Amino acid sequence: MNNFVWAIALTLLAGTAAAQSDVNITKDMPSVSVPTESGMVDISRIQDTKNRISGDWALTSRPCPDFCIQPHTPAEGVTTIGELELIEMLQNPQAVVLDSRTPDWFASGTIPGAINIPYTYVVDELAQLGCEPDFDGWDCTEAKPVALFCNGVWCGQSPSAIRNMVKAGYPANRIFYYRGGMQTWRLLGLTVSGGE
């Protein structure tokens, strides 16, 4: 009988410890602060272990075209990254994280610290990314490291922007593609600025 009581007590203690544990970004990173236009913002994960994505973010099947699965690498020389690498870039004052979605999508919620330059005119805004206009288009010798994202692996907005940037002379090795986009960011319960 004593073993049975001990087993129940240990089970209850283990359950209490599990209930008190945080949903961290990584084992050693519960949250991270990143600079934004409106001040520092903490990025963390939603602590409710029963949380689920809903609405448009829960959709698994979109018609192709227009919503075809995008390649892992949208252009030669571009590096595809995940959430941890994107968080590092958000903390790097020399890097830019660019939400390449249209303004309505940006207003519905974005990654804290990201700026919005829609994919339709990113080439016109390369000065924000360290390029200088010249007679032939752009001189991008001082281009900043930039990570682009859109809605998810089925969204062609950031791949289109990336290909146009490379064509305009932006160095591909300074472009990073966060392929998971907002759908994966939300799926992981990471902090979203603005919107809902």
Least confident of 16-30, 44-58, 70-84, 119-133: 16-30
Judged against a pLDDT cut of 80, whether residue 185 lies above it is answered with yes
Instruction: Answer whether 177's CB lies under 8 Å from 148's CB.
Output: yes
Number of C-beta neighbours around residue 79 at 10 A: 14
Q: Map out the domains of the chain as residue ranges.
A: 23-187
In angstroms, the CA 12 to CA 172 distance is: 54
pTM beyond 0.75, yes or no: yes
Instruction: Answer whether 145's CB lies under 8 Å from 174's CB.
Output: yes
Three-class secondary structure of residue 23 per DSSP: coil
pLDDT interval class at 4 (50, 70, 90): very low
- Provide mean pLDDT across the span 147-152: 98
Task: Find out if CATH 3.30.450.20 is the number for domain 23-187.
Answer: no
- Provide mean pLDDT across the span 50-78: 94
> Which stretch of DSSP H or E encloses residue 36?
strand 32-36
Mean pLDDT for all residues in the chain = 91
